[in-house]
Structure 1
Amino acid sequence: MADTLTGCPAHAGAPVPAYPMPRAEACPLAPPPAVEPLRAEQPITKVRIWNGGTPWLITRHADQRALLTDPRVSNDDCEPGFPHVNAHRAQIAPHTPKLITNTDAPEHTRLRRTVNGPFLVKRIEAMRPAIQKMVDGMIDDMLAGPNPADLLTALALPVPSLVIAELLGVPYKGHAFFQRNAGLALDNSLSADEATAASRALGQYIDTLFREKLENPDDAVLSEMAGRVKAGEMEHAEAVNMGVAMLIAGHETTATMISLGTLALLQHPEQLAVLRDTEDPKVIGNAVDELLRYLSILQTGVRRVALEDIEIGGLTIRAGEGMIFDVQAANWDPEAFPEAERLDLGRPARQHQAFGYGPHQCLGQNLARLELQVVYGTLYRRIPTLQLAARVDELEFDHTGTTYGVHSLPVTW
């Protein structure tokens, strides 16, 4: 007998859909086709996740913004009812030190303050010349190398990996190690033991580096956190786990956006021409936000749990019930973005949810925007004849991780 909805009076007896939902092979960059009717007809509804739990799925842009700023909505993944992404996350939650990714105020406020400084706009913007030089050098190497090339390995992965390694004070020579283990830690198809082993390896790697920074500090973020540990503002384990989280988040999502953004632009040549033919930073900055909105690469949703009963949309989300905020659905919500299915680099898109919303909005969003501005503002001008070297239906998309991307992107010029 099929599972049915019992918590939604207007839809009692309706089947409970599984989440995450599959994308359509014919439209690999669009949200799953089941999302649109849910947002239109059941914008707050139950879904079934990997462990049989039935959290609420929130699909409308306005509802997400209301709930993500509601103090009754918790980010604490040890709270009963929290809808973990997979078995690995559920297994490690009780043993994970408190971080900005799993705490609420006031603890979250304290922790965020300890790492916020290096990611403020002014400090990030100061990195632009170095990132520009890095991107130009990689494009030079790509042009001098084999044609066709894999954009993922030639540019998309190296740029954010180099940048986050430099920012944190992690030797880039270890990039193959941390890229591999970061991918394993986020792979929802692996067993909890396999993912835990990868997380543990990253933790040991960062712990070794952090102990070196305690003895011989430099001007990188790990050293800043070492100073805070010495001052009693952070615990050693907090700093190490924060370093692991930043290392993972600092390259995975941006690498995906570079490759998928290029794929989207190559499928929309009139939009690619906007970036190819301009050096206006405002145009480039807006294009970055529109691509973030359009692609919405977080495919497992933002996860929360209710601490108290919450009335919204004629429904009651009970204390202890989980919530999943589907970023793709919100970013394609026609009430927030008219003709949302259309990629339009001239659209005012800054209100997208790609970095989340509210007090837990992504710490690294300024860095991600800068990296994407430099890459998108350089690649297509430097290689105006860039094109795919394979059909879209020949590309292998990654459906197993927290983010959605391609395993490779063959390009030619």
Structure 2
Amino acid sequence: MGDSEAGDMAGADSAYPWLLPSAVADPRASGDGSRRTVRDWVVDICCLAVAGVVGLLVVESLRHDPHVSGPLLLADQLIGAAACTALWLRRRWPVGLAVVLVVLSVVAPCAAGAMLVAVFTVAVHRPFRVVAAVGGLALVTAPVSAAVRPDPDLTFIVSAVAGVVLALTVIGWGMFLRSRRQLVLSLRERARRAEAEAGLRAERAQRLAREDIAREMHDVLAHRLSLLCVHAGALEFRPDAPPAEVARAAGVIRDSAHQALQDLREVIGVLRAPGGGDGDEASRPQPTLAELDDLVEESRQAGMLVTFDGRVVDPRTVPPATGRTAYRIVQEALTNARKHAPGAEVTVRTAGDPRQGLTIEVVNPAGEEESGVVPGSGQGLIGLSERATLAGGRLAHGPTPDGGFRLHGWLPWRT
């Protein structure tokens, strides 16, 4: 009965969802026995068979008892058969059925097998308080039954002790199966939660990867595309320019487009690398502070007036992550100045050391020409603020009293 009953735990527990550790019930089971599964039928038949065998053994013992008359034996057999049949209701009313059978077994020994099955069912499917109450009643009635219907082959003490031992065995067995069942359900619930958490972590990783792609695409391509727009705009508004200038502008457009494609390949290669781009920062193919001079010169070749005041003694000593963040800040500031203040002189200042950190400042007055050369989404400064915060620094930006714009950032000098 134990193995079959243990295999029936899921179907039986579905009738009592409040017993499950996570209150997870099987929607197929209604608890009234009208929709039993194949396993339910097998378990119920096994329980009925066990109760019937015990009842037959008791009947056989009563046949040899001279104090038991024929009508009394027939009544015991009828009561035992009714008790076994009543086990069909053990899923629906386990506690009530167990109490009735415990009381009935006092005067009808043939119902002892059904009583043990009913008590076992309560031990498997009910909390400890209910099991203690029903089990206590079964333990109390064991010596009473031995006194009311004594066994001619056993003394009162032996008969009472045997009844108590049987009741304790059934109760302990049922509680053990219930605890094992709850452990299995708890492990399954924990596995489901772990799987759900893994799915959430995967979604978060995908979201962060998309954000990294968006940030890198903006940082890498906005600068190049703004250069393309400036030179293309010059060709559009100066169709009568000398052939040499047209050729030079076309060459800059070609080189900028080629460089933009190359930067795009590098960024995508980093993002596709194992580990999502994590690893040695110095090995990532992205610019650092040492390449800030090239960025300023590139902007000057595009027609911008840029004054660069670099006070870092050796830019190559700046940590790669810090230098890369500083490079992106200056790059975005130059791109914004080119878009919103064309013709204005831009001043770029960098200073710092390992003790004070790295300071970046980009200032430009109001533009001399009408802005709106290149459309923008307005997300670049937000992305720079997030980048600076992630690096442990800070970034401030806003208009100046003369109508210009100032961007000031500080980054820690982390090795």
Give yes or no for TM over 0.5.
Answer: no
**Which has the higher Rg, Structure 1 or Structure 2?**
2
- Structure (1/2) with the larger helix percentage: 2
| TM-score normalised per structure 2 | 0.20
